Structure 1
């Protein structure tokens, strides 16, 4: 397995929602893929923008799904937000928490006070995902932000992949406060590189690989941190989104899901692929036949190099492949 993708790295940093699991359902093959990383001798880290659970709870959830995990392998956006607040506020400063009790605990562990309603001493607002967040919570936060409190968002993911489909994420609640206050938050989690950098340092990694499903957080955060990234189509990312991705959101490798870690690295790279010819002009003309994901890798390479994203097919095989990718 010396030519496998995972063999080229000393740590693999996994996103969770949409990459390892969908809510209470594990993505098929995930336990085996993570096990293969450990067998290779590489470190495993779980890096999540979901701030609703404490690391110990994340570990319990992973273990219930058949994945090996330890608390020191989990890095959450709640921890990142607490670190940002700790750097910017004096010890004991009051932080209004919009989120779960586990988020409040992370803030308290940073030496800060936590409140749920505005008082005269509120210096900051921290906002993380919680299914219990309601209008009253947002109202308190809006008052504090309008009064000048520092606003830190754990993440701005608009949606959250679950076993039922995409549901509103923390970014949707952040958008409500952004509209109500005309203010932009400081974002602590992905796409900021802090989470990935912290996870890599904790593993003493010199060459980490990020695996994630969301272009504007997982891939963008990895690019910002200068790390290679495998984008997977098991969550939010779509072929159209990949084809039109801006430079800051372009992965180095592409696969259907994380089980591709044991496949040949060369087969997963974005670039020209056997069987497919992409002719660049006013549109990208596809000729040939072969693996559908190989076509997407080749199309991304051509689109990113040329700036052309409109696609057409020549031949039945190419037409069928584009239809399969929902690009036709």
Structure 2
């Protein structure tokens, strides 16, 4: 394993939803891969935008899926949101909580006063995902924000991966308040770099690797923090999104899932790959050759990112078939 991706970094920062599990379903190979990292002596951190669960609840869920973990290894957007609140408010300030009781508990532990109804004394609103968030809760937040309260969103993920598919995420509810108030929130979680920076610091890491399935949060957060990243196709990201990714959302490596951590750097790096040629023409990136589909995608991303062309054409039956399997025909 000395030449593996795992061996090249001094910590691995895993996203959870879509990377390690889908709701109650573990992604095959995830427990074994996390164990391989630990056996190698590489610190592991779990970095999630989900603000609905306390670190202890996240640990309980991971243990139930066969991945032993400690609360110190879990970093949530709720914790990041409270850091931003504590930096900007006096101790004891009232904070209107739109989210779970665990989010309210984080606010209380920071020396602030969580409340559920708007009042003149409310100085801030903190908003995190909860399946129980209601119109009434959003209405209270709307009134507070329009009155000038500081607004902190734990994250702005439009969707939330589940075993049933993509569901509305906190970002969808944030969008409703943004429309109602004409105010932009202060965002605590990914793609802001705070979560990754805090997680890396807790691991004593200077050269960590981010592993995630969302370009606009996981990968963008890694880029913002100046960290290399592995994009996995086990969650939200699609080949089309990868080809069209803007510079702020481009990963370093690409794999089907997190089990690739034990593969070599050269196998996973986005760039030219054996068997495939991807060259920018006048109107599109033209692909020729044959081989592994993911190798084609790695080469294609490199050519598209270098040229700025996102239209793709296959030259030859093998290339056309591979593009079709990737959903890029």
Per the normalisation by structure 1, the TM-score is: 0.99
| 1:97 match: secondary structure | strand
Cα shift readout 1:14-60 (whole Å, capped 9, x = no counterpart): 00000000000000000001011111110000000000000000000
Q: 1:279: Cα distance to partner? A: 2.0
Residues 1:189 and 2:197 are matched in the alignment: no
* Map 1:170-319 → 2, pairs under 5 A: 170-281=170-281, 282-319=283-320
State the superposition RMSD in angstroms.
0.5
User: 2 CA distance for matches of 1:236 and 1:177?
Assistant: 24
Q: Which digits, 9 at most, give the CA deviation of each residue in 1:157-192, with x for residues without a partner?
A: 000000111000000000010111111000000000
1:10 aligns with 2:10: yes
SS in 1 for 2:218: helix
Work out the CA distance in 2 between the residues paired with 1:261 and 1:226.
20
C-alpha distance in 1 between matches for 2:315 and 2:114: 62
Task: Name structure 1 gaps, 5 residues minimum.
Answer: none
SS in 2 for 1:274: coil
**Separation in 2 of the partners of 1:195 and 1:54?**
15
Name the SS for the 2:125 alignment partner: strand
The ranges of structure 1 where at least 4 consecutive aligned residues each deviate by more than 3 angstroms after the TM superposition are none
Structure 2 unaligned segments of length 5 or more: list them: none
- SS class of match (1:308): coil
Residue-by-residue CA offset, 1:172-218 (whole Å, 9 max, x unaligned): 00001011111100000000000000000000011100000000000
Matches within 5 A, 1:68-217: 68-217=68-217
Aligned pairs, number? 328
Q: Report the alpha carbon displacement of residue 251 of structure 1 after superposing the two structures with TM.
A: 0.2
